[in-house]
Structure 1
Amino acid sequence: MIDSSSVWHIALMSLLLRSMPQASSSASVRCMIIPDLQWKIFQLVHDTFTERSRNQTLLALALTCKLFTGLALDFLWQDLSGIAPLIKCLPSNLWKYVKGNLEFQRTMTIDDWSIFCRYNHRVRSLKTSANTLGAGTWRTLNCPPFSLPLLPNLVSLVWGAITSENFTFIRLFLTSKLTTLNISRKITFGLSEQSILLCIPMLCPSVSNFSIHRAIESGEISTALQYWPHLSSVRTGEISEVAILYLSNLTSLRSLKFRLPSTFLFASTQTRMQQPAFCALQELAIESKTLEVLDAFFETLFVAPEMLSFTVTEQISAPLALASLISCLPNTCAHSSLQQVHFNIDDGSFDDSDPIEIASFQPLSVFRNLRKLSFQTEYYLQLDDTALLQMVKAWPLLEELHFEKSRIRHHITSNTFVSLLQHCPCLVSVGIAVNWSAVDNHGISLDVPYHGFAHKMLSHASFSNSKIRHPTRIAAFISAIAPNIKSVKAWGMAIYEHDRGFVKYCSRWDLVQDLIKSFSMVREQGRRMVLLAGEESDEEADVGDASGGEEDSEEDTDEYSDRTSSDWEEE
């Protein structure tokens, strides 16, 4: 870990290096001329400090001596949030802020461009997070006295908060070295924008990480994807069946997030998907209008991802369709690889007479390495103590389990909740509804609950719409079985805002959170008191041993004196 004092020590050594003869300079000073060591130190400065401290430190190093200047400037300009920092390096009479935007006040000369070129080749990553350049500034940058791109060594581009009118200027930053391209802002694609999108693969053939706002609808996205042979990560909205087939054959693809077409895939497409597809995929996130379309997509597919995520936007009658989708997953996904499953379902029917049964998730029990499971919907979820415990027994490595972002009808008992913790020793975060009446109706016992069982890993818990009457009793119980818990929440979801007792139960659970923090502090004080008492006892024992030794010595001396006196008398 490098701090500011270490950096100034490096600077001091560089000054010594310049002022001392080579023969008399110390080894620690001479080692600073080693290029690899310099790079490693500056890399640590770049990666460790906050952006402001990092830039100040790198600037100070650049000004220290010529030995550091080039490398320090490379790291200083490596990552840019916008083009404004480059423009601010130009003469102050060239630019001015006008209504929050940088505007040029005169013509940009060859000398100005020469200054610009001192730094532009050092930029590796650009994120246009704010629209701070005026239209005239963009037009000037569009006409440099050298061939494009403006930043010739750019490898990562995030095109963010820029207006749709300025999207055409993205071509100023398209380099053959670009490997990451993220168009993160929703833009209305007209003919010119679509033309540029089609040109990007030709200008940037090395792109491996591509992301575009999911709301951007353009058939050219599907076409552009098929020109990149080395894609490893793709984030996009809806794409065509042809694009899906192309991506399924890429051996480099590790992460894929996309939206399925609203209609079922053609039979010919599904037939071709029966062959080995997505063979290297580790993360698969799919959005679909309905569960039925999702189910059909997985019908002939076999993949081995570590993470699966499903988002459904226009579902009608979820229970049967969800059960069908989940039941096909054991035949679709490799049992040993799957570690995370996430469901987010927007059900438009909202039929409370036909809830989703927790038993619907039972087929997931075959995935023994499951670590994270979450389910979110406004539909009613019917919990069952026995079914829940049967599932969690199959997931000994489970770290996160979240059902609280749903309308939960039946609440599991506190005994079942403790059993859940016992079967999942790695659980860090849990969200579920619990019936706390068994704890709420009895005072705080002097005996430790559950024979002293304590789940040391749990740190966050959310209890949905669980109702309680005595916050102190609940807090004492939770604090005892999960002594390291840091956050306890309930009734925080918007779906409960109109329920009776919303304000009352929110305030009670807020009190539980405060009490658990206090109990944790008191427990720590008690632990330290025990340790302190043990140390004092050890010290007293040491003193006692020392005192006992001195008394024995005195007795031995007296005995020796008596013996010599008696002997002398006899003589």
Structure 2
Amino acid sequence: MTLDDWSIFCKYNHRVRSLVNRCYPLYINHTNIRDIEIWRALSYPPFSLPLLPNLTTLTWTEVTNETFQYILLFVTPRLTELDISVARSGPSFTLGPSEQSTFSSIAKSCPSVSHFSLSSQRYDSQQIVGDTSIALQFWPHLTSVKIGTVSEAAILHLSSLPSLRVLECGLPSTSISTDAQKLLQRPAFCALQELTVTCKSPVILDAFLEKLAITPKILSFKFARGVDPALVIPALIYRLSSACAHSPLQKVQLRILDDDQPADPNVSIGAAAFQPLFAFRNLRVLDFVADGHCTVRMDDASLLQMAKAWPLLEELYISRYSHSTYRVTPHAFVLLLWHCPRLRSVAVLIDWSTIDVHAIPSDLPYQGFSQKALTNLYINGWRIENPTSIAAFLSVIAPNVRSISGWDSDIHGYDSDAIDNSWTVVQNLITTLPMVREQGRRMVLNRLMQGSYNHHAAAQRGGRY
């Protein structure tokens, strides 16, 4: 860059408040080389750094070990939001001595950071290698942190921040010490609203939660594949009932991460495992995701218990992507909608065989009961023969369903295309049948009105004779 280039740059650089380095590489190696050349060209300005002195928000995507250091060109004391995501392919992003030094420089140069994110969208298991929490202890005003594995010292620092509202992190591979647990007994995470934890060992997670008393609205726990869901999930749910205040909690997500290992169809947990969550009366969302590696032994009674316990429920996902022999009846499904009038999205395995018949009843099911909130229904690969009869049922019970989807598979001999096509017919008919019913209702009313008019006219004619 020439002095004239820099002169033009300096006319506008003070105006910039937000910088997004968004990279969508078609050819990863070429793009990285080009990026490095750009940052090198900007590395020698005829003035002192930073390049953008009034920058408050910095988003840096597809970072590699080669490009990470160039973030220092833009960090300013005014910076409050820093969002870094590592490259989706190529070598893992490793936090060696050079990267740790860069992190320390960033932290010292930006004391006002309140939102910090260091994430990865890698498709393999090697995402970010090394402790990513070194910078956290330099920031006393954090309100949102989304990061990889954190150290015990970082956990204690974050727990003491009165401003922290959102935390997404991975727990260390070694169990939290007894001294750290004692410190977590004090008022910790006092402002926390959202907590997302990724963990390889349920023992470590249990030690983390054992002494906590928190009041979050959203909880999400992710386990690496290899844990035993039959043991881990019930124990975790029981722990949550004592670690979290009952009134504020609105969303719970429990997820077993998939690692492309073959699923074991025999792994299951009883629906009774969710009973400790019944104390959270304000729950809006329950999302259990096991990616086909664990099913829930659900029956009508269990679903009815859930419905009565969570009257404000808006989303319910139980075994969304699993095939299972444990299914509830359409009657229990209707009771769920009855007790949860706000429910808008549901994934529960339903046995449609009692509705999947040729004959369509002349009377409206359930005396015309209708739940208007439901818009999304997951069908989990259930193959049907008579979509019209099921559409007639759903168009009364849940007339506003607009999306019917789920995990379709040809295992068990199912043809996924046939599943798709039959449920597409159901989805299309649901929007049509209410209009047909309304048209029929108007025809009946018109005939009644016409009959009343004719009777009245005849009466008048008879009175004149």
**TM-score, normalized by length of structure 1?**
0.70
Query: Which residue of 348, 356, 360 maps to 1:444?
Result: 360
Q: Where in structure 1 are there 5+ consecutive unaligned residues?
A: 1-107, 542-571
1:411–1:435 CA contact under 8 A, matched in 2: yes
Query: Which residue of 276, 297, 302 maps to 1:387?
Result: 302
Change (3 A) 1:349 1:520: closer
Counterpart for residue 223 of structure 1: 134
Is the counterpart of residue 209 in structure 1 residue 115 in structure 2? yes
Is the counterpart of residue 360 in structure 1 residue 273 in structure 2? yes
Deviation at 1:530, TM superposition (A): 6.6
Deviation at 1:424, TM superposition (A): 0.6
* Distance (whole Å) between structure 2 residues aligned to residue 229 and residue 310 of structure 1: 26
Mapping of 1:256-405 within 5 angstroms?
256-346=167-257, 352-377=265-290, 378-403=293-318, 404-405=320-321
* Distance (whole Å) between structure 1 residues aligned to residue 113 and residue 447 of structure 2: 66
1:255–1:283 CA contact under 8 A, matched in 2: yes
What letter matches 2:10 in structure 1? C
Counterpart for residue 13 of structure 2: 120
CA deviations on 1:100-128 (whole Å, 9 max, x unpaired) are: xxxxxxxx332221211222222111111
What letter matches 1:500 in structure 2? H
What letter matches 2:69 in structure 1? T
Deviation at 1:531, TM superposition (A): 7.4
Change (3 A) 1:535 1:250: farther
What letter matches 1:171 in structure 2? L
Mapping of 1:408-557 within 5 angstroms?
408-441=324-357, 443-492=359-408, 496-497=409-410, 499-503=411-415, 506-524=417-435, 527=438
Deviation at 1:272, TM superposition (A): 1.2
* Distance (whole Å) between structure 2 residues aligned to residue 360 and residue 254 of structure 1: 29
1:285–1:310 CA contact under 8 A, matched in 2: yes
**TM-score, normalized by length of structure 2?**
0.85
Deviation at 1:222, TM superposition (A): 2.2
Q: Where in structure 2 are there 5+ consecutive unaligned residues?
A: 24-30, 88-92, 121-126, 453-465
The structure number with the bigger radius of gyration is 1
Secondary structure of 1:126 counterpart: strand
What letter matches 1:196 in structure 2? T
CA deviations on 1:11-54 (whole Å, 9 max, x unpaired) are: xxxxxxxxxxxxxxxxxxxxxxxxxxxxxxxxxxxxxxxxxxxx
Change (3 A) 1:472 1:138: same
Deviation at 1:150, TM superposition (A): 0.9
Deviation at 1:369, TM superposition (A): 0.2
- The structure whose residues are more often helix, as a share, is 1
Query: Which residue of 61, 67, 73 maps to 1:172?
Result: 73
Change (3 A) 1:135 1:366: closer
Mapping of 1:85-100 within 5 angstroms?
none
CA deviations on 1:328-387 (whole Å, 9 max, x unpaired) are: 211110000000000101487955445211110011000000000010111232112112
* Distance (whole Å) between structure 2 residues aligned to residue 328 and residue 444 of structure 1: 48
2:358–2:386 CA contact under 8 A, matched in 1: no
What letter matches 1:317 in structure 2? D
Deviation at 1:241, TM superposition (A): 0.7
Higher relative contact order structure (alpha carbons within 8 Å, sequence separation ≥ 6): 2
Q: How many correspondences in the alignment? A: 428
CA deviations on 1:494-515 (whole Å, 9 max, x unpaired) are: xx45x123325x5234332334
Secondary structure of 2:355 counterpart: helix
Secondary structure of 2:288 counterpart: strand
CA deviations on 1:424-468 (whole Å, 9 max, x unpaired) are: 100000001111111113511121111101110000000223342
CA deviations on 1:31-84 (whole Å, 9 max, x unpaired) are: xxxxxxxxxxxxxxxxxxxxxxxxxxxxxxxxxxxxxxxxxxxxxxxxxxxxxx
Structure 1 range deviating more: 184-193 or 263-272: 184-193
